[in-house]
A and B are shown apart, each in its own frame.
Chain A
Amino acid sequence: MAERKLLYHFNRAPHGNIFWTEGMRAATGAVAGIDEHKVDLLFQGDGVYNALKDMEETESLGYLPSLEDAGVHYYVVDEDIKERGVGAGDLKDRFEVIDRAKAAALYMQADMNVDW
């Protein structure tokens, strides 16, 4: 076993599927395990809608404290929010806006990329 640097990709919109909540649950499991993997979250494509201030997230709120304690970063892709008419000011405070080049660098830096 080994500690891994993991990048969890959220690619889907928050409604019509359960991948947002289950991906957050899986991220919590990854940082809490024996290996204590390092996990960061990347929101891209329609996944950027998960970052909206008014996006209802009752079912995943319970995972936030554990992820914060583990130092998890939330990244959202600038080009993807602009393509969808979303402004950086529309996002929850915990999300950091990065460009696609930075997102690509995160892919490369991760030991494993996991799609949700």
Chain B
Amino acid sequence: MAKIGFLLTEGPWQSENYDIFAKMADAALDKGHEVQAFWYLDGVYNPIKFQRFPGTTEENLPVSKMKVVVEKGADITCCGICVNGRGLENGKDYIEGVRVGGLPDFADIMGDSDRLITL
């Protein structure tokens, strides 16, 4: 089985890269691969648990899709400078299982993964 790394730099509601990440990560995890992801720049908005949007069901919220892959074992780290730069207070409103770290974590992902996908 492979270790697949992801870099996600886009947030929810403007780009669909979060959805592409969720679908790719979900498929990889179902096949037994490991998923390690680093969320950078506006990517750190994706795991906020209070997301709501008119006409969007709970299961279709970006954060809900993130929760699915986290519960399946995806290892997700958000850039702490990006988190606090956006007033997200060390990710206090993140779903459980998403960690706040830094660029050394991304360097580790690149060193540890067999493939890297940037979104």
- The interface of chain A, by Cβ under 8 A from chain B, is 1-4, 6, 18-19, 22, 25-26, 28-30, 32-35, 37, 112-115
Interface residues on chain B, number (Cβ under 8 Å): 18
* Dominant secondary structure at the A interface: mixed
Contacts of A33 in B (CB 8 A): 103-104, 107-108, 111
The listed residue with most A CB atoms (<10 A of its CB), out of B7, B102, B111, B112, is B111
Contacts of A3 in B (CB 8 A): 111
**Closest B-chain residue to A35, C-beta based?**
B111
B107 close to A37 (CB less than 8 A) = yes
B109 CB to nearest A CB, Å: 10
B40 close to A34 (CB less than 8 A) = no
B40 close to A1 (CB less than 8 A) = no
A1 close to B116 (CB less than 8 A) = no
Question: How far is it, in angstroms, between the C-alpha of A80 and the C-alpha of B6 when the chains are bound?
Answer: 28
- The interface of chain B, by Cβ under 8 A from chain A, is 5, 7, 9, 40-41, 102-104, 106-108, 110-113, 115-116, 118
Given contacts A33-B108, A35-B111, contact A25 B116 (CB under 8 A): no
Contacts of B103 in A (CB 8 A): 25-26, 28-30, 33
Contacts of B115 in A (CB 8 A): 112
B13 CB to nearest A CB, Å: 17
Question: How far is it, in angstroms, between the C-alpha of A33 and the C-alpha of B108 when the chains are bound?
Answer: 8
Q: Among A1, A22, A28, point to the contact of B111 (Cβ < 8 A).
A: A1
9 A-B contact pairs sorted by A residue (CB < 8 Å): A2-B111, A2-B112, A22-B9, A26-B103, A28-B103, A33-B103, A35-B108, A37-B107, A112-B113
Given contacts A2-B111, A4-B111, contact A22 B41 (CB under 8 A): yes
A18 close to B7 (CB less than 8 A) = no
Question: How far is it, in angstroms, between the C-alpha of A2 and the C-alpha of B44 when the chains are bound?
Answer: 26
**Closest B-chain residue to A3, C-beta based?**
B111
